[in-house]
A and B are shown apart, each in its own frame.
Chain A
Amino acid sequence: MSLLTITKTQEENKLTAKISGRVDTSTAPQLDNEVSLSLDGIDDLVLDFKQVEYISSAGLRVLVSLQKTMIAKKGKLTVCGLSDDILDIFKATGLTDFLEIEK
């Protein structure tokens, strides 16, 4: 059973994906697939991390990949709802330098 749930809502060209559970080596491909294949016509992607308990390196790689995709589409990626722990990880790994973060 997957430990990750992704709920997507689309309003015009904005897609919000609420992520719930653990993003680790086994679930990162699921995040990648479910989000990246829903980006047709989307130029505003929001990843809601309120329900994310943990994100591993494999999961963080997916964020880098999505960021590249959105920039190439001349759109933007926003990550919101980060817990303090996960925000610390974003800072330590340099993701805060190029990802748009909303508390």
Chain B
Amino acid sequence: MKNYAISVVTPFHNVAPGYFKKCCESMFAQTIGFENVEWIVVVHNSDKQYLDNVNEMLGGYENVKIIVLNDDKKTPSSPRNCGIEHATAPYIGFLDADDSYTPHCLQKVLSYTEKNNTQITWFRREYELESDKNKPITEVVLWDQTQEEIIITKDNWDDEKMFSGVCGMVTSRIYDRCFIESNNIWFDDSVPFAEDYLFNLVCYGHADRICYLPQMIGYHYYINNSSLVQNSSKSAETLIEYAKGYKKVFDAGLSYGFSMNAIISSLCCVLARFMIASDDLTLDDRREIRDILAPYLENIKPLRVSKLYPEKAVRERYDFPRAVILDPENYSGNGGGDTLIAVDVKTSQNLSPYQLVLRDILYRNHDTDIGRRYGFDELLTLSGYQKRVPESYYDMYEPLLRLQTNIGESGIITADPIKNYMFFLGRMSNPKLVPCTDKQLEPLERMMIEEATGKKTFIMLESFPQKHRFNDNSFVNTPYGAILSGVFESNELSAYAKRNLFTSPYEVMFPTEVVDFTYIRLLFALSERFLDRIFAPNTWEVWNTFRFLENNWRNLCADIESGKPDHFNQAISDELRAAVEDRLISDPGRANELMGIFKQGFDTPVVPKIWRKLSNVTAFGGGSFSIYTENISRYLGNIKHCNGSFIEFSALLGKETEKKGMYELGTENAFIELVPADSDGDAVLAPNAEPGKLYYPLISTYSGLYRYRLSDVICVAEIKNNVPIFSYEYNSDQTITICGVSITESDILESVTALGKEAGVSVADYAYMENEKGDGIVLLIETTVDDVSGYDVGKLSETVDKRLEERVVLYRDAAASGKLQKAQVVFVEPESQLFYRDVLMYRLKFPHDFIKPTRFINDPVSERFFRSRIIR
């Protein structure tokens, strides 16, 4: 009989020829010499064609034993035992038929083993994924990897390093055969899962000397779809058998006095994820599993935070198996789309972005006052979150925000520091502070960088001057101002690239004073011949900018010619003026070119003539902004306009799809539920929304808003891949109720649009209010001309009434009964909306994009103002 250096045992079960070929090649290539290896291939319960393939590939080799084993076992235990029985060499290794050894593996590992006289030698296992969908099972360790070899005896035993992470594999070890035989160690074929853990624990229980080779990569693990661990669909019977097998594993380790904390946590975590994915596990089954494993799980402690187990993994390995296995009544199984528990803590592959965002928000904020109050730690399902955490309104946050801004408190609603408070003025002077953290802004900044990179953008906004610091070290900003600021703080782009993204100079985008920069923005944008895109918060800003251009082009051209902002009449600091003068370059050629364009007039679209490369204008133009969206086409012509992202309270509610005005619900920085707008129904999870229905978004954000109801109303058009596609409809704060009849912003917009289409009124802006008796609606229409004497307001009022009666049933009924008076159309002076904005800006010291156009006039100040603007 030949004296082989090592016996390699390969359990073979229906392995595809391609995989097995690689395995064979790796054996043939062993530097120790293939002929010096006794290879025992145990063909286990395999179909004939696979056996034929094995015979074809290995038949005739003297050192290869092909053994056929057919039994009723479904694990590699019985073929491995069979291999051990037939092994004759002094050492045994286990190689799976779809994996391979690296060429030097056996030679090197044997050399260390013989040199150190160890009973077990461990080496490293690299892995390769068959596809991106496979989950990596990596063998990261806590050993000192600067050492080539580490010899472990009973004197320097280290449970944490030996029994942490993926520590049960037999394939990345070789064993002294005499040691195995003399201690009568076998694979327990009644253990269906983690049988290798059991084998190793028994080996370790008997071993005196173990060699660890932290730098020696010897095993190549090919992770494919058929792997037992990868396949998470298990029957109830299988899972109960797993639990029984676990009991043997745990008992074995505990009987040797090993610290089993990590193994119990990790294996129970795997079982728990199988349990939540199982379709047929009954409550009785769960109770049976609990009864088997409770004695172990009840005694585990949280693992130590390490590179193997980051804080998140520590929590999940402790909480998750305990929640699922120990509480069968409450954790009723297949979480599916409702679960917040990641099957794989590292990749979270089983969770959708919708689930992940809530999971992450709760995890990040669990240690806040609000997180502790509502037990964020304990929430394992989306529905649990809905039941536990109530809907919230601004009034609930206001005192908490004041503690932050005035006292400097933190950790109340969000764990991360507040960077900015978004100041939402809405359409009335009723400002709201909305907290915003870096994490909240991150995806929005990334989107802005992606959209702007490689292009020159005319940006119609500025950051808010960071002058007043709150006591929690935060500042006020607008959403886009904060995003812009984040773009410039980001490391993704070089300083040069950042400065070349936008036409406005840095000093203008980040001013120290609130100034109306429309002139300066235009000055730099017009100087740029090769503009690619325009970005504005909304189409109102675009519309106003080009109206401003229409009135001021002579001055702008003169300043471009001279290279000096002589016609910019706003007071700015000397530093800012110097920066503007420094950046502005005299360009008489460009000035002449522009003069030529503008002298032709604005009756045909000027923008394509000004910037021939310009291909896109991004500005939110939905809902009541659509009046401006219509109007800007006068300047833009055929240049593509898109709405971009739909952002509210710094939450990305949706990204516009290819179809204009339709958005895909966002999952980047907010968890969004939907509350039916036309009934008193409870909030539904977004994937469960009904197409065709109107909803209020209910947002939960990283920055500390939980189930906060927005006043925007959206209409779900369809659910695509579990994600709602929706349109923006209206803001419910702008709904006017007269004599019990509610008329929404979109009802009124429809009537205003009809004035344009049916009566030829060139509507520049509009607002509405109750009549003086409170029994009818007054529509205030603004056109671009002072003289509106040619319009018959009586007829226009009829048009409005007709539209409202068509859209609002209650309006029609109330009008028919005489309860509601006829609508009244009046004209207000051109630029009245802008004048109102200017007054608010002056009083409140806010820049443009803090203030939205006034629609519903419902306070005495604005009513007095707009009444005074009516053309008599």
Q: Please report A residues at the B interface, Cβ cutoff 8 Å.
A: 24-26, 29, 32-33, 36-37, 39, 56-58, 60-61, 64-65, 67-69, 71-73, 88-89, 92-95, 97-98
CA distance A57 to B864 in the complex (A): 14
Are A67 and B842 in contact (CB-based, < 8 A)?
yes
Contacts of B495 in A (CB 8 A): none
Are A57 and B839 in contact (CB-based, < 8 A)?
no
Contacts of A29 in B (CB 8 A): 551-552
User: Interface segment, B498-506, B567-575, B595-603?
Assistant: B567-575
B631 at the interface (CB under 8 A from A): no
Q: Which 6 A-B pairs have the closest CB atoms?
A: A72-B571, A36-B569, A92-B868, A57-B835, A57-B829, A58-B831
**Contact check: which of B572, B786, B843, B861 meets A25 at CB < 8 Å?**
B786
Contacts of A58 in B (CB 8 A): 829-831, 835
Are B834 and A92 in contact (CB-based, < 8 A)?
no
Are A65 and B831 in contact (CB-based, < 8 A)?
no
Cβ contacts B810-842/A at 8 Å (1 or 0 each) = 000000000000000000111110110011001
CA distance A25 to B831 in the complex (A): 8
Contacts of B551 in A (CB 8 A): 29
CA distance A98 to B828 in the complex (A): 23
Q: Please report B residues at the A interface, Cβ cutoff 8 Å.
A: 513, 516, 551-552, 555, 566-567, 569-572, 784-786, 828-832, 834-835, 838-839, 842-843, 861, 864-865, 867-869
Are A94 and B839 in contact (CB-based, < 8 A)?
yes
Given contacts A68-B842, A98-B842, A57 and B571 within 8 Å (CB-CB): no
Contacts of A56 in B (CB 8 A): 786, 829-831
Contacts of B861 in A (CB 8 A): 94
**Contact check: which of A39, A71, A89, A97 meets B868 at CB < 8 Å?**
A89
Contacts of A93 in B (CB 8 A): 835, 839, 865, 868-869
In the complex, residue of chain A having the shortest beta-carbon distance to the beta carbon of B861: A94
Taking the nearest CB of chain B, how far is it from the CB of A44, in angstroms?
A: 15
Given contacts A57-B869, A98-B843, A65 and B570 within 8 Å (CB-CB): yes
* Other A-B pairs, 16, CB within 8 Å; known A72-B570, A72-B571: A25-B786, A26-B786, A33-B567, A56-B786, A57-B830, A58-B829, A58-B835, A61-B838, A64-B839, A64-B842, A65-B570, A65-B838, A68-B570, A68-B571, A89-B868, A93-B839
Taking the nearest CB of chain A, how far is it from the CB of B854, in angstroms?
A: 13
Are B830 and A25 in contact (CB-based, < 8 A)?
yes
Taking the nearest CB of chain A, how far is it from the CB of B693, in angstroms?
A: 41
In the complex, residue of chain B having the shortest beta-carbon distance to the beta carbon of A29: B551
A36, A37, A94 — most chain B CB neighbours (10 Å): A94
In the complex, residue of chain A having the shortest beta-carbon distance to the beta carbon of B864: A92
10 contacts between A and B (CB under 8 A): A33-B555, A33-B567, A39-B569, A60-B835, A65-B516, A92-B867, A93-B865, A94-B839, A97-B843, A98-B843
Contacts of B829 in A (CB 8 A): 25, 56-58
Are B786 and A92 in contact (CB-based, < 8 A)?
no
Contacts of A26 in B (CB 8 A): 786
In the complex, residue of chain A having the shortest beta-carbon distance to the beta carbon of B514: A68
Contacts of B785 in A (CB 8 A): 25
CA distance A25 to B786 in the complex (A): 7
Contacts of A25 in B (CB 8 A): 784-786, 829-831
Contacts of B784 in A (CB 8 A): 25
A61, A65, A93, A98 — most chain B CB neighbours (10 Å): A93
Contacts of A94 in B (CB 8 A): 839, 843, 861, 865
A36, A67, A73 — most chain B CB neighbours (10 Å): A36
In the complex, residue of chain A having the shortest beta-carbon distance to the beta carbon of B569: A36
Are B867 and A37 in contact (CB-based, < 8 A)?
no
Taking the nearest CB of chain A, how far is it from the CB of B568, in angstroms?
A: 9
Given contacts A25-B786, A69-B570, A95 and B839 within 8 Å (CB-CB): yes
Contacts of B567 in A (CB 8 A): 33, 37
Taking the nearest CB of chain A, how far is it from the CB of B462, in angstroms?
A: 16
Contacts of B828 in A (CB 8 A): 57
CA distance A32 to B838 in the complex (A): 15
CA distance A72 to B570 in the complex (A): 8
CA distance A36 to B569 in the complex (A): 6
In the complex, residue of chain A having the shortest beta-carbon distance to the beta carbon of B551: A29
Taking the nearest CB of chain B, how far is it from the CB of A91, in angstroms?
A: 8
Contacts of B869 in A (CB 8 A): 57, 93
Contacts of B839 in A (CB 8 A): 64, 93-95
In the complex, residue of chain A having the shortest beta-carbon distance to the beta carbon of B862: A94
Taking the nearest CB of chain A, how far is it from the CB of B491, in angstroms?
A: 36
CA distance A28 to B786 in the complex (A): 12
Taking the nearest CB of chain B, how far is it from the CB of A22, in angstroms?
A: 9
CA distance A98 to B842 in the complex (A): 9
Are A57 and B832 in contact (CB-based, < 8 A)?
yes
Contacts of A37 in B (CB 8 A): 566-567, 569
Contacts of A33 in B (CB 8 A): 555, 567, 569
Are A24 and B786 in contact (CB-based, < 8 A)?
yes
Are A61 and B834 in contact (CB-based, < 8 A)?
yes
Taking the nearest CB of chain A, how far is it from the CB of B772, in angstroms?
A: 15
Contacts of A39 in B (CB 8 A): 569
B828, B831, B832 — most chain A CB neighbours (10 Å): B831
CA distance A65 to B842 in the complex (A): 9
CA distance A75 to B377 in the complex (A): 59
Are B516 and A57 in contact (CB-based, < 8 A)?
no
Contacts of A64 in B (CB 8 A): 835, 838-839, 842
Contacts of B569 in A (CB 8 A): 32-33, 36-37, 39, 65, 69
CA distance A76 to B785 in the complex (A): 32
CA distance A89 to B555 in the complex (A): 30
Are A88 and B868 in contact (CB-based, < 8 A)?
yes
CA distance A36 to B865 in the complex (A): 26
Are B571 and A61 in contact (CB-based, < 8 A)?
no
**Contact check: which of B555, B566, B572, B831 meets A57 at CB < 8 Å?**
B831
Contacts of A95 in B (CB 8 A): 839
Contacts of B831 in A (CB 8 A): 25, 56-58, 61
Taking the nearest CB of chain B, how far is it from the CB of A63, in angstroms?
A: 9
Taking the nearest CB of chain A, how far is it from the CB of B704, in angstroms?
A: 35
Are B571 and A73 in contact (CB-based, < 8 A)?
yes
Taking the nearest CB of chain B, how far is it from the CB of A47, in angstroms?
A: 15
CA distance A99 to B566 in the complex (A): 26
Contacts of B842 in A (CB 8 A): 64, 67-68, 98
In the complex, residue of chain B having the shortest beta-carbon distance to the beta carbon of A32: B569
Contacts of A60 in B (CB 8 A): 835
CA distance A57 to B784 in the complex (A): 12
CA distance A47 to B831 in the complex (A): 21
Contacts of B566 in A (CB 8 A): 37
Contacts of A97 in B (CB 8 A): 843
